Structure 1
């Protein structure tokens, strides 16, 4: 510090460099505009300088210079204001915010080397605090303190102070007789230090402090009291600093916890906002991505699972737009040709399986099939299930009759409910890993079929006409517990045969019934197998009285992993998870196959059997003639001049190879696709035998009408 610079308020002045650090003097020049030291601080500094010089046993010149410095400090200090009565004085405010165990020491401002003044300051502060809190008469200790304070103030006004002399004077004046002096005791006990102070008094703590300080002064000799008081002050100061540091650390820790909590909340809130924004972005991205994908991705044209061609985009016309058929066709196109249709379909079925939703409805029992004849009105389908709306048709053949008729009321349920587990999915019973289409026709439903077949006999009187109505899998593999769900195909076929006029029926039912322990029907497909067609062809050859080759004269082919059309119709994952072997037979005899369009155009030669390795598994039944929409002419090595024409549905496809050893020529027509007059075509080809081969669904449904359509078109 430069000697010309004024001393800071509350700091000791620096006299010169040849004095020890313990003794300071104020600067020579004090600017007039600088604030003066308050009287109390100046007295404390002057006292500290004098005490320091005396304690260090310096020579007289240094002591004199120290006294001069102390006097200069007192002269530069503010004059002492007149004192108010002690009971009206306000307690001095602590200089720190410390509220720990030794926080009251912050009220004291002694010089570090002077310990007696610390006790005096303690008495002054405690007295002022108590005076502000209570109007009661002062205790004896307070009177002593006031007297000490007055003596010290008088000494300060005279230019010198001697606290020890002031304290000794007060103690001598107020000391009780020797016989009444209290014995020294542990002053750390507040109750013992001030036994007369009530514990619930608002000034109890202050009284205890005053009593403790006075006892500390009066219990020992001045020299001993000063040394111990100095040590106690230093210890208290160190404890206070330690408490302050501890409390600061605790406060910092608490603040850190609070700050960490606030920071964590802010981070969580930001994370929540970011997550919400991310969810919105992802949802919109998925929405727009799927929408764009539906528009630009390639759409399938064929469903391998369902073995059918999917809907096509309709051609626009004003008429179709006005009547709504165009918009309906567009909606059907987009619904039927969703990109990755098969993937989504399989995924949906797996989810349904794992969730326990294995079918449209579980069979609960009491869902019978009405097998009695209806009133004499337009024929209707009698099958009515509580678990579905109507019998579902085989879409590729349009064989379900429920779609074209009205359901009647069901009969009362049987007395006992089925015990074997099964499920219905789209009118297909799934039981024992087999799909079974439920036949719901009654006896008289086949009258249209019989009537139309009879007309062919009338138009072709010289042709041998045969009727082969093939029963389906439900007649042979429906468990007894579920027989009430199906109508009798046997009765229906017998009724149709009874209506035939000049047409020879082929009893396929009996032929198949003998071999139910063999795989005569597919488990996952609505068709029969090649073996079932073999037994039917054998029965037909016997009725037609033509030769028939043994099965050993055919080559057997097996391909694993077949899942047929019933999975596509039912969407039941059980069928997909239980594939079967697809078996077909090829004749060893020579033959030639010519394919034509349904209008008899574009003839070309090809193998009767398609390359199954190039087909999807669901389409393996198309190994016969590659499908249904061709007109096929087969020339064999048989020399009997018997020419057979087969008007059929898809069941007839598997029948044709077994007849290559029975007729010299075979013509195959599918009544659903043929575009030429059938009677004229048969006459042109010189057909000698005509076979109608179809299953009971076709004979009792819409395909029966197609027979008449191709006859008269």
Structure 2
């Protein structure tokens, strides 16, 4: 029997001993999946980048932006001086970025993304970009010295926001030229509900009645240059010639929300103050009241700085009544619509809200026969297509009128009342021209910024009986007014002869709907 106190001694194991194997680590499937997805995403991004780079090199580059109303950058000319100064390489970078293929489409796509994914705005949000003061806080300034009529300075020099301005802009460089800044009057805004508002580059973006609208803010001004030029013209033309002043108000006169009246001047009061400076023999016509009566109708563009042709119709109606000439009801015209148009308010503000809410631009073809001849700025013959309307461009609908601001246009109608009208205008006056085809036997149209003939000689030698100045409020108080005096002074004493006399109207207009 074994003694329990004797410890058992185990015999050694004759098998060779091996080192213990480490425990196999469990594979992290989530980390593996993330790693693989990262590699796939990186490959897709690299492929997209390579494809985009190839397309940018192969696809034709854009040369003009319709939504921005400008020509895009051109490839810089190489010189050793520009290369070593860095201007050449900087110019190449600017050209490459500005002329990207489908420039406008990409701009619109970017703004659409901003619209969809941007931060929500409060009902009372206001954004000021640049220095925009309340009217009572503005220090009066003297107007700048007017540039030569044909220099194009009013289109290319910086405006209030310091950005280049597109050709055809009506008086965009507005600097008050006198200390008499009128205060705003009672709220002319026809609909009280304003859902949202922003002010961008002197442009207010508001939403009313379910639609977005862009408007420039008007600062007011004395209009001394304008009144002085008209008084000088009055003294130099025959007393039998009727001279009319009919400024075109901007939409902020009628659609500025009540709580923001302090940022705009009352244009009606401004026009009255300017007209008070006119001498006898000049008939003032303030159309603000006539337009205010129709403010709930589409009389102004929402996405462009011009009035709609319907607004021009009501202004022309007021002038025809004051001038004592016949005037055709708008029902006798054939209406045409440019759908989904987008004008200068979007081009200047790049507002995604405006982009999401295009508008219809409706213009009217006269229901009576007429013929139209186009002349260059020096009154040399250009063409005679017998039409007051051009191509329809949704990105810039207002250019449907008169081919361009620069041309002098002559319209001959069947009216036999011995009245010859000369319309001195900026781009605002373009839309009024068709509405006078039932009122005057002959109509001449010239832009105060571009005409190269002497205004006094033109009135005398062409037998003009009526001269109406239809320019925007900006032109009345801003530098464009100085061009009128230049027209009076340039080529003084010259003889003006119509190089293309017409036998009579030849256009057969379409039947009214």
Q: TM-score, normalised by structure 2?
A: 0.74
Question: 2 CA distance for matches of 1:325 and 1:671?
Answer: 37
Question: 1 CA distance for matches of 2:356 and 2:337?
Answer: 19
Asked if 1:209 is matched to 2:10, the reply is yes
Structure 1 counterpart of 2:296, from 495, 517, 521:
517
Asked if 1:363 is matched to 2:134, the reply is no
Matched position secondary structure for 1:348: helix
Question: 2 CA distance for matches of 1:449 and 1:706?
Answer: 9
The 5 A counterparts of 1:545-560 are 545-560=324-339
Between the two proteins, the alignment pairs up a number of residues equal to 453
Counterpart residue number, 1:691: 468
Structure 2 counterpart of 1:346, from 88, 108, 111:
108
Structure 2 counterpart of 1:703, from 458, 463, 480:
480
**Relative to structure 1, is the Cα distance of residues 276 and 588 closer, same or farther in structure 2, using a 3 angstrom cutoff?**
closer
Residues 482-509 of structure 1 deviation map (CA, whole Å, 9 limit, x = unaligned): 2222122122111111111232111211
Structure 2 counterpart of 1:378, from 142, 150, 153:
142
The answer as to whether partners of 2:408 and 2:446 remain within 8 angstroms in 1 is yes
Structure 2 counterpart of 1:395, from 146, 166, 179:
166
The 5 A counterparts of 1:477-626 are 477-501=255-279, 502-610=281-389, 612=391, 615-626=392-403
Structure 2 counterpart of 1:438, from 216, 219, 222:
216
Larger RCO (CA within 8 A; separation ≥ 6): 2
Question: 2 CA distance for matches of 1:497 and 1:632?
Answer: 28
**Relative to structure 1, is the Cα distance of residues 537 and 321 closer, same or farther in structure 2, using a 3 angstrom cutoff?**
farther
Counterpart residue number, 1:126: none
Question: 2 CA distance for matches of 1:391 and 1:488?
Answer: 25
**Relative to structure 1, is the Cα distance of residues 611 and 405 closer, same or farther in structure 2, using a 3 angstrom cutoff?**
closer
The answer as to whether partners of 1:398 and 1:701 remain within 8 angstroms in 2 is no
Question: 2 CA distance for matches of 1:273 and 1:431?
Answer: 44
Moved more, 655-664 or 303-312: 303-312
The answer as to whether partners of 2:143 and 2:175 remain within 8 angstroms in 1 is no
How many angstroms does 1:286 deviate by?
7.4
Question: 2 CA distance for matches of 1:311 and 1:708?
Answer: 35
The answer as to whether partners of 1:438 and 1:485 remain within 8 angstroms in 2 is no
Matched position secondary structure for 2:9: helix
Structure 2 counterpart of 1:450, from 227, 236, 240:
227
The answer as to whether partners of 2:178 and 2:224 remain within 8 angstroms in 1 is no
More strand by share: 2
Question: 1 CA distance for matches of 2:284 and 2:425?
Answer: 15
Matched position secondary structure for 1:455: helix
The 5 A counterparts of 1:71-86 are none
CA RMSD of aligned residues (A): 4.7
**Relative to structure 1, is the Cα distance of residues 650 and 358 closer, same or farther in structure 2, using a 3 angstrom cutoff?**
farther
Question: 2 CA distance for matches of 1:394 and 1:358?
Answer: 30
Matched position secondary structure for 1:697: helix
**Relative to structure 1, is the Cα distance of residues 338 and 401 closer, same or farther in structure 2, using a 3 angstrom cutoff?**
same
How many angstroms does 1:632 deviate by?
0.7
The 5 A counterparts of 1:214-253 are 251=21
Question: 2 CA distance for matches of 1:347 and 1:405?
Answer: 41
Consecutive unaligned residues of structure 2, counting only runs of 5 or more, are 145-158, 184-192, 491-513
The 5 A counterparts of 1:330-341 are 337-341=99-103
Structure 2 counterpart of 1:660, from 423, 437, 447:
437
Counterpart residue number, 1:468: 246
Question: 2 CA distance for matches of 1:310 and 1:426?
Answer: 21
The answer as to whether partners of 1:541 and 1:548 remain within 8 angstroms in 2 is yes
The answer as to whether partners of 1:647 and 1:668 remain within 8 angstroms in 2 is yes
Consecutive unaligned residues of structure 1, counting only runs of 5 or more, are 1-180, 183-193, 198-203, 214-235, 381-387, 412-417
The 5 A counterparts of 1:144-159 are none
**Relative to structure 1, is the Cα distance of residues 683 and 431 closer, same or farther in structure 2, using a 3 angstrom cutoff?**
same
Matched position secondary structure for 1:662: coil
**Relative to structure 1, is the Cα distance of residues 316 and 431 closer, same or farther in structure 2, using a 3 angstrom cutoff?**
same
Question: 2 CA distance for matches of 1:699 and 1:208?
Answer: 121
How many angstroms does 1:272 deviate by?
11
The answer as to whether partners of 1:468 and 1:505 remain within 8 angstroms in 2 is yes
**Relative to structure 1, is the Cα distance of residues 595 and 312 closer, same or farther in structure 2, using a 3 angstrom cutoff?**
farther
**Relative to structure 1, is the Cα distance of residues 315 and 588 closer, same or farther in structure 2, using a 3 angstrom cutoff?**
farther
The answer as to whether partners of 1:371 and 1:487 remain within 8 angstroms in 2 is no
Question: 1 CA distance for matches of 2:476 and 2:66?
Answer: 26
The answer as to whether partners of 2:378 and 2:453 remain within 8 angstroms in 1 is yes
The answer as to whether partners of 1:419 and 1:481 remain within 8 angstroms in 2 is no
Structure 1 counterpart of 2:456, from 667, 679, 687:
679
How many angstroms does 1:323 deviate by?
13
Question: 2 CA distance for matches of 1:329 and 1:602?
Answer: 39
The answer as to whether partners of 1:609 and 1:625 remain within 8 angstroms in 2 is yes
Residues 20-72 of structure 1 deviation map (CA, whole Å, 9 limit, x = unaligned): xxxxxxxxxxxxxxxxxxxxxxxxxxxxxxxxxxxxxxxxxxxxxxxxxxxxx
More helix by share: 1
Matched position secondary structure for 2:334: strand
How many angstroms does 1:285 deviate by?
4.4
The answer as to whether partners of 2:309 and 2:364 remain within 8 angstroms in 1 is yes
